[in-house]
Amino acid sequence: MLTLGIESSAHTLGVGIVDDGKVLANIKAMYKIGTKGMIPRQVAEHHVQNVHRVISQAFEAAQVKPSELEGIGYTKGPGIGSCLQVGQVAAKTIAQRLGLPIAPVNHGIGHIEIARVNAGMSNPLVLYVSGGNSQILKLTDDPHPHYKVMGETFDIGIGNMLDTFARGAGLDPAWGSTVEKTATGGRYIDMPYTVKGMDFSFTGILTHALKASKSTGLQDVCFSLQETAFSMLCEATERALLLSNSDELCICGGVAQNSRLKQMLEAIASEHGAKMGFTENQYNADNGAMIAFVAERSLKAGAASPLEKCNIEQRYRLDSARVY
Ligand code: FE2
């Protein structure tokens, strides 16, 4: 079922085209975050300026014509309202013009489902780590198929924490990968550690690391920040893995691109005889293909939404979205 998906929840405008689960195109345009972070009006303007070009490039890359499309999806949320609206309006316009069934998609379900299927897993324990989210989840059928949150951050997502630290410490503000690179060869210094059951918190460590960056070398601060924050995620994930009796562990989301985090989780999975799974980085970063991927599965299951009900929801909880 040839399906186009549009992702526009934050800095990335992504357009993907899939056919029966196979990704034919995954094109994106990214708003460059300066020292001030994301300014919603400017990010939305970036998406408006690029949406036509990125859609055209996706058709070119997939080598299909708009008239061949059989379905469409867009990110309903969570995300920045003005940014989500760009994808919503574009998708609704295409759906109406071409008479296509349309499916609103939860952004997090997009990351999880494409990672889970690409990793060849049926019902793994999932660690979803991105800018706005940090959650430990497990698929359940009660009362309908959805991801149940077993643990999550009390405050900010780990990606947001790493990006905010990078900006505050005067590092290149582009993403947590800067922290990962700077951490190489660093030595450990003490950092606050907050895990309560299977939940965790990142604001305390952020404040501490920013203060430490004024008096201690950035290499050591970045190293210690990563080691401590990732250990918090690993402790909670290990507890959830044992409690849920899972034999598969899948990691996804923007921070899943971090090789040190992957290495630490691999050690936990291996210690408990669980299979470790992840997907290519192009799907861990925000992208349109994952939205097309989930939209296609929803539409095949008969879950098309009437156009007038195709809304956006800035705080769309992952555990309130049905999985098809
Ligand atoms: Fe994301």
pLDDT digit string (tens) for 287-296? 999 999 999 9
d(CA 259, CA 139): 25
Q: For residue 112, which amino acid is it?
A: I
Ligand 1 centre to CA of 132 (Å) is 8
Ligand 1 centre to CA of 67 (Å) is 29
- Mean pLDDT, residues 41-67: 98
End-to-end CA, the chain: 15
Q: Which H or E run includes 150?
A: strand 146-152
- The answer on pLDDT for 115 being more than 80 is yes
Within 10 angstroms of residue 165's Cβ, the number of other Cβ atoms is 25
Q: For residue 125, which amino acid is it?
A: L
Ligand 1 centre to CA of 257 (Å) is 12
Ligand 1 centre to CA of 78 (Å) is 9
- Mean pLDDT, residues 283-312: 98
- The answer on pLDDT for 20 being more than 70 is yes
- The answer on pLDDT for 312 being more than 90 is yes
- The answer on pLDDT for 37 being more than 80 is no
- The answer on pLDDT for 220 being more than 70 is yes
* pLDDT on residue 48: 98
- The answer on pLDDT for 246 being more than 90 is yes
CA angle centred on 107, ends 31 and 82, rounded to 5°: 50
Ligand 1 centre to CA of 215 (Å) is 33
Ligand 1 centre to CA of 98 (Å) is 28
Ligand 1 centre to CA of 39 (Å) is 17
Within 10 angstroms of residue 184's Cβ, the number of other Cβ atoms is 10
3-state secondary structure of 154: coil
Report residue 93 as tokens: 């316009």
Ligand 1 centre to CA of 187 (Å) is 31
- C-alpha dihedral sign at 281, 258, 295, 85: negative
- 159 in Cβ contact with 253 (< 8 Å): yes
- Do the two domains 2-110+283-320 and 123-278 of this chain adopt the same fold? yes
Ligand 1 centre to CA of 317 (Å) is 13
Instruction: Please state the pTM of the whole predicted model.
Output: 0.95
Architecture of the 2-110+283-320 domain:
2-Layer Sandwich (3.30)
60 burial (CB, 10 Å; 0-12 / 13-18 / 19+) is: exposed
* pLDDT on residue 142: 87
* pLDDT on residue 158: 96
* pLDDT on residue 138: 97
- The answer on pLDDT for 18 being more than 90 is yes
Tell me the Ramachandran region of residue 11: left when phi exceeds 0, alpha when psi lies from -120 to 50, beta otherwise: alpha
Ligand 1 centre to CA of 213 (Å) is 28
Residues, the chain: 324
**DSSP state, residue 184:** T
- Give the model's confidence band at 174: pLDDT under 50 very low, under 70 low, under 90 confident, else very high: low
- Nearest one of 232, 286, 293 to 256, comparing CA atoms: 286
Architecture of the 123-278 domain:
2-Layer Sandwich (3.30)
Ligand 1 centre to CA of 217 (Å) is 31
Ligand 1 centre to CA of 54 (Å) is 18
Ligand 1 centre to CA of 308 (Å) is 26
Ligand 1 centre to CA of 286 (Å) is 5
- Give the model's confidence band at 45: pLDDT under 50 very low, under 70 low, under 90 confident, else very high: very high
- Give the model's confidence band at 176: pLDDT under 50 very low, under 70 low, under 90 confident, else very high: low
| Domain ranges (residues) in the chain | 2-110+283-320, 123-278
* pLDDT on residue 175: 61
Q: For residue 289, which amino acid is it?
A: A
d(CA 141, CA 120): 20
Ligand 1 centre to CA of 190 (Å) is 30
* pLDDT on residue 156: 96
Ligand 1 centre to CA of 315 (Å) is 14
- The answer on pLDDT for 222 being more than 80 is yes
Mean pLDDT of the chain: 96
Q: What single string gives the DSSP state of each residue in 219-257? A: HHHHHHHHHHHHHHHHHHHHHHHHHTT-SEEEEESGGGG
